[in-house]
Structure formats: structure tokens, C-alpha cells
Structure 1
Amino acid sequence: MLKMLLIYSHLLATCIALGTMLQADHKLWRWRKELLNRAMREQLAETQQIVTLALLFLWGTGLLLVLMGYLDEGIGYLLNQKLWAKVSVVTLLSLNGALLHKAGFPLLQKAPFVLLPGSARVRLGLLGALSMSGWLFAAFLGVARPWNHVMPYQHVMGAFAALLLLASAVAFVVVSTAGVEVEDEQGDGSAESC
């Protein structure tokens, strides 16, 4: 019963973190032309707190589940390469979250996203791509039971790399067009004033 409750808690924390991230990404995109006001910054800080707490809870429940699996099945449980791929992805997510908090979000305090230099927009876009693809893939690995003790680590991480590459390409296109969007609007404004 304890293991089932841990799995359920782990799943709920994943859903909360993923749902919060999707909502935050949607809001940030809606706000791309605005300098973040106090209410927006508070919403962003609340999102950061929720996701950080969910991630800490996921680490805790995940480590407890690994311990229980080891106690139930012995060393064989730890030989599951999908498990280590999931640990790798969640570690990347944790590092990426720290980068977003320290280097990414402070950029949005300085100027609207669309007015940031291209390199800053690309950096934010790539951090966002890693975040979203990492959360989605970690959640997928949680339900990919048929991959247990079957898929080699490099194959699982190769699938993640392919997803990350796709997400990064989409992010690059989106952030590139965000800058063009502002240039077009500024061009339209200058044409009207003539």
C-alpha cells in the first residue's frame, strides 16, 4: 500500500509541475511584448515556487521508490537502464531550472521578450525547450514500463535527444519570428507616420 501511495504522490507532483509549466509558458508567450509588471513578476515567482517544490517532492518520492525497489528486488532493480535515463533527465531538468531562475528569468525583468537581443531570446527559448521536453519525457518514462530492463540507456537518451532537438528547433524558429514581429510592427508604425 505504501508503494502505491508513493507512486500516486509521484504522479500527482508530476502533473502539478507539468500543468504549472504549461500555464507559465502560455502566460510568458502572451506577455512577450510587455515589460513584466509587479503582478506578472509575482505570478512568475509563484510558478517558480510551485515547480521547485514539486521537483523536490519528485526527487524525494523518486528516491524512496528506488530504495523500495532495491529492497524488494535487490541489485537487479538498479540495473534497469531506463531508471538511470530518468535520473539523468531529471538531473538535467533540475540544472536547467536553476539556470532559468538565475540567468533566464532575470532577462525578462530588463525588457519585454521581443525586445531582448536575439542571443538572449534564443537562450531563453533553448532553456524553455529543454524544460518542456525534459518534463514531458520524464513523465513519459514514468509510464514506459515496457522499457524496463529492455531499452539500453543510450537508446532512451537518444530518444530524449531527438525530442530535445525537435523542441529546440521549434523554439529557435519561434523566438526568431518574435523579433521579426516587433520589427514589422515598428516598420508599420513608421510607414503610417509618413
Structure 2
Amino acid sequence: MIGLLGQKESMEFMRLGVVYVHLLACCVAIGLVFASDVAMVKDLLKGRVSSGHDNDHMASLQKSVSNALLFLWITGAAIIGIDYLDKGMTYFANPKLQAKVIIVLLLTFNGMLLHRYVLPAMLKAGSLLDLHVNVRMFALFSGALSGVSWLYAAMLGVGRPLAWKYSLTELLMAYPVLIVLGFAMMLALTQWARSRSAAAPAEETWLFAGIPAR
């Protein structure tokens, strides 16, 4: 009996350590994604185009987020394994767990697409605004999916009261809505930035000719 209690206590401490690393990886990834998104929005508002330094930063950011996602997979699988040993197969029927797995799978697949298609196109074009319209739409949607997914997964991770209380459909109901809203906001912002950048050369021409712009 004492041996079983000691073993259970050891498993709890092990789970605590794994959850701590899992939380750190999630915080790092969310912080990097959020900082990058804020910087991109600021650049769009200022009409600034990306430089070579920005491209290097983007490649480094992608690598850091990929590493954080890998740590999330490893630690998440460890947490699931520990909880399975404690609770059995009924643990997998938890809708909150199912929702988290679905979102992380989407994050992983989306990250692969970003790394394979969007990042090379961005490095080649030098600016989000200079991408071909189809590629730009895909980049905006993937970015919205990534940002919303990280925050939504974090919300599910800390939302212990959500476990077994809501169905999978109810837990994911707001997820696609937030993605669409994020995509629409970024689409409107990029369209405004493109219009502003297109008007800038004409204004510079008038000034160069010695005629006031206003």
C-alpha cells in the first residue's frame, strides 16, 4: 500500500514537471507569434516594406516556433501517457482533450504549409504586400489560423473547468469564427496598406516636380 502511494506521488511530481515544460513551450511560442504579429501590423500601418533583416528574423522566428511546437508535442504526449496510466481509456473520451489534439494537429499542418510555401514566397517577394494575390490570401489565412490556434489551445489548456462539462462541438464553436474574423481584419488591413503604398509614389512625383502635394 505504501509502495503504491509512493509510486502515485512520484507520478504526480513527474506530471507536474512535464506540465511545467509544456507550459513554458506554449508561452514561448505564443510570445514569439504575438510579437511578430504586432510588428507586422505596425509595419503595415506605417506602410513599411520588409528588408533583408526582417527576412532573416522571419526565418529565425519560424525555426523557434517549430521547436516550441515540437516540445509541445513531446510534453503533451507525455502528459497524455501519464494521465492514461492513471485514468485508463476513459481519459480519451474527454472532449477538452480531443479539442486540444485537433487544434494542435491543425497548428502542425498549418506550420508545415507556412514553412513550405508562405515563408519562401515572403523571402522572395520581400514584403507581404508584394505577394501574388492568391499567395497573399493564403498567407493571411494561415497567419490568422496560427494566431487563433495558439491562443485557443492555451485557453483550453488552462480551462480545467471545461473538462467534461461541454461537448466537443461546443468547445470548438468559437474557433472557426475567430479565425474568419482574424482573416477579415488582416485582409482589410493589407488592402488599406496596399492602397496607401500605391498612392505614395504619386505624391512623391508631385513633390519632386516642385508642386506641393496639398
TM-score (norm 2): 0.83
**Deviation beyond 4 Å, 4+ runs, structure 1:** 29-32
Q: Percent identity?
A: 32
Displacement of 1:36 in angstroms is 3.2
Q: Does 1:128 align with 2:140?
A: no
1:18 is aligned with what amino acid? I
Q: How does 1:145-184 map to 2 (within 5 A)?
A: 145-184=160-199
Deviations 1:128-178 (A, max 9, x none): 100100101011110111110121111122121121122111122112212
Corresponding position of 1:51: 65
In the alignment, is the contact (CA less than 8 A) between 2:59 and 2:119 conserved in 1?
Answer: no
- Asked if residue 113 in structure 1 is aligned to residue 128 in structure 2, the reply is yes
Name the residue aligned to 2:7: none
Q: Give, in whole Å, the separation in 2 of the partners of 1:102 and 1:51.
A: 15
Structure 2: 5+ residue stretches without partners: 1-12, 210-214
Tell me the secondary structure at the aligned position of residue 49 of structure 2.
coil
CA positional deviation for 1:107: 1.7
User: How far apart are 1:90 and its partner, in Å?
Assistant: 0.6
For the residue of structure 2 that corresponds to 1:19, the secondary structure is: helix
SS of the counterpart of 2:172? helix
State the one-letter code of the partner of 1:83.
Answer: L
For residue 35 of structure 1, report the CA deviation from its aligned partner.
4.4
Q: After superposition, what is the alpha-carbon deviation per residue over 1:6-53, rounded to whole angstroms, capped at 9, x for unaligned?
A: 11111100000111112222344455633431x333322221121111
Is structure 2 residue 82 aligned with structure 1 residue 68? Answer: yes
Q: 1:34 to 1:165 in 2, by over 3 A?
A: closer
Residues 81-124 of structure 1 show CA distances to partners (whole Å, capped at 9, x for unaligned) of 11111101111111111111111111222222223333332221
Bigger mean CA offset, 56-65 vs 106-115: 106-115
Q: Establish whether residue 141 from structure 1 lines up as the match of residue 156 from structure 2.
A: yes
Q: Which runs of 5+ in 1 are unaligned?
A: none
Cα RMSD (Å) of the superposition? 1.7
| 1:80 aligned onto 2:112 | no
Number of residue pairs matched by the alignment: 193
